[in-house]
């Protein structure tokens, strides 16, 4: 297991070190090693949220999500549009930035302004899904 180095100064906005390292890997680690005055200014995010569900045929968790949540998702979370992507065809939306491509389904990618900020792995029922989504978008 690789352990991420500890850093002493906080990151701007709500982007955690863990999430930044997931998004940018080694490049982020190198950038964080720079003194704060050497870093580029962080543009203010508009906050547009998006949820991408990575799925595949025959996935029981995917089927349960579609049966229990998808039918009324748009009314329950109108400010977080849902896009479905097949893990095998990879019909990814244009202009998004994610960490490593998911290799298990269902995986839910939470994006803010087109950049992945968190992931929800698997589907463990309505209550846990909504709790995880609330925590990821807080």
pLDDT band of residue 28 (cuts 50, 70, 90) is very low
What architecture (CATH level 2) is domain 49-137? Answer: 3-Layer(aba) Sandwich (3.40)
pLDDT of residue 9 exceeding 60, the answer is no
The residues of the chain that CATH labels 3.40.30.10 are 49-137
User: Could you count the other beta carbons within 10 Å of the beta carbon of residue 63?
Assistant: 14
Higher pLDDT, 131 or 28: 131
Cis amide leading into 35 (omega within 30): no
DSSP character string of 93-138: PTT-B-SSPP-SSSEEEEEETTEEEEEEES---HHHHHHHHHHHH-
Confidence of residue 47 (pLDDT cuts 50, 70, 90): confident
Beta-sheet strand order (sheet of 115-121): 82-86, 49-55, 107-112, 115-121
**Average pLDDT score over residue span 104-133:** 97
Nearest to 114 by CA among 136, 92, 98, 133: 98
């Amino acid at each position: 297991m690789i352990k991420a180095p500890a850093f002493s100064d906080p990151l701007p906005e709500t982007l955690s070190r863990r999430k930044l390292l997931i998004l940018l890997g080694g490049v982020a680690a190198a950038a964080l090693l720079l003194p704060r005055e050497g870093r580029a200014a962080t543009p203010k995010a508009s906050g547009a949220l998006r949820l991408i569900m990575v799925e595949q045929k025959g996935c029981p968790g995917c089927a349960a999500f579609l049966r229990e949540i998808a039918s009324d998702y748009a009314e329950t979370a109108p400010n977080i549009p849902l896009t479905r992507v097949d893990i095998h065809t990879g019909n990814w939306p244009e202009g998004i930035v994610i960490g490593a491509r998911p290799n298990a389904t269902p995986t839910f990618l939470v994006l803010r302004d087109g950049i992945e900020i968190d992931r929800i792995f698997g589907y463990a029922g309505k209550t846990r899904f909504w709790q995880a989504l609330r925590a990821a978008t807080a």
